[in-house]
Amino acid sequence: MDREKQLRDFLLKGDKTYMPRVSVDCVIFGFHEDQLKVLLLRWKDGRWCLPGGFVKWDESVDDSAVRTLQERTALNNIYLQQFHTFGAPDRERGKKLKGIPDSKKSWMHDRFVSIGYYALVEFSKVNPIPDWLSDACHWWDLHKVPALIYDHNEMVEKALEKLRLSLNDHPVGYNLLQEKFTMPELQRLYETILDKRLDRRNFQKKMLSLGILERLKERKTGGAHKAPFLYRFDKKKYERAMKQGLKLGF
């Protein structure tokens, strides 16, 4: 079987291409139907995990994360943030390899340190693609994430925590929402990430005061009630705000 050979090659010769001992894992956040979602992979053995990958010898760790993300979502230009590196001594990739011949000789055997990144992506644009070791790749509601391999649940927790903290000095939305969105939608996003309710009117004032939103002529019609205005981020001003940092205080 072809895949069998591919796997053997990867296990026995992968270290020609990839650095051993170091991996990258990505917590990919999406936002859909007022819920934060996380993209997960299912291994052939049924266990779920974060999309991850290895670092090529000639590639930076950041680039490795970009590549991993690109491979799972088919998206480019994704917002990506390194958030923590996980290095407990029992983090053994090798444990995944049970029952595979020669696995003891593999560069995958033994301990790995993993560098965690979180990504913010536009849910509707993602077409989840399993990797060649997995048979499924899809979105999970953040609050319903199943038990994951190793410390991946901890990674999700930590990523969320860091994302929350970042709201105190950086805007969010450009990466998670569609190009045009309404103020209530943006508010729903903030409320979901922070897991707390915000005052509608004060929220709008705060957001507009950042000067990074552009109100469009159109409104979002089709809803059951008064049609809300559509907004769009001014990309240049948004990026300037991301760089400089702000004082939001949520």
Would you tell me which residues interact with a copy of itself (CB under 8 A)? 19-22, 55, 57-62, 64, 82, 84-89, 110-111, 113, 115, 165, 168-169, 247, 249
Q: Residue 156 or residue 177: which is nearer to a copy of itself going by CB?
A: 156
Among a copy of itself, DNA, none, what binds residue 101 when CB lies within 5 to 8 Å by partner kind? Answer: none
Judged by CB under 7 A, does residue 204 bind DNA?
yes
Residue 60 CB, nearest approach to a copy of itself (Å)? 5
The one among 14, 228, 232, 239 contacting DNA by CB under 7 A: 228
Judged by CB under 7 A, does residue 206 bind DNA?
yes
CA-based torsion, 63, 8, 127, 186: positive or negative:
negative
Judged by CB under 7 A, does residue 217 bind DNA?
no
Residue 152 CB, nearest approach to DNA (Å)? 34
Q: Residue 76 or residue 221: which is nearer to DNA going by CB?
A: 221
Binding segment for DNA (CB under 7 A), chosen from 9-17, 131-139, 142-150, 219-227, is 219-227
Judged by CB under 7 A, does residue 197 bind DNA?
no
Measure Cα distances from 128 to 23, 28, 75, 142 in Å. 21, 11, 10, 16
Judged by CB under 7 A, does residue 244 bind DNA?
no
Task: Give which of 27, 80, 34 is closest to 186, Cα–Cα.
Answer: 34
Binding segment for DNA (CB under 7 A), chosen from 60-68, 110-118, 153-161, 204-212, is 204-212
Judged by CB under 7 A, does residue 226 bind DNA?
yes
Q: Residue 6 or residue 85: which is nearer to a copy of itself going by CB?
A: 85
| Paired strand residues for 25 | 52, 116
Residue with tokens 């048979």: 135
- Beta strands 18-32 and 113-120 are parallel
Residue 241 CB, nearest approach to DNA (Å)? 15
DSSP E strand stretches across 70-179? 79-86, 113-120, 134-141
Task: Give which of 36, 29, 39 is closest to 192, Cα–Cα.
Answer: 36
Residue with tokens 């290895």: 54
DSSP E strand stretches across 121-192? 134-141, 181-182
DSSP E strand stretches across 44-187? 48-49, 52-56, 79-86, 113-120, 134-141, 181-182
Contact present, 208 and 172 (Cβ < 8 Å): no
Query: What does the binding site for DNA look like in residue numbers (CB under 7 A)?
Result: 182-184, 199-202, 204-206, 209, 219, 221-229, 247, 249
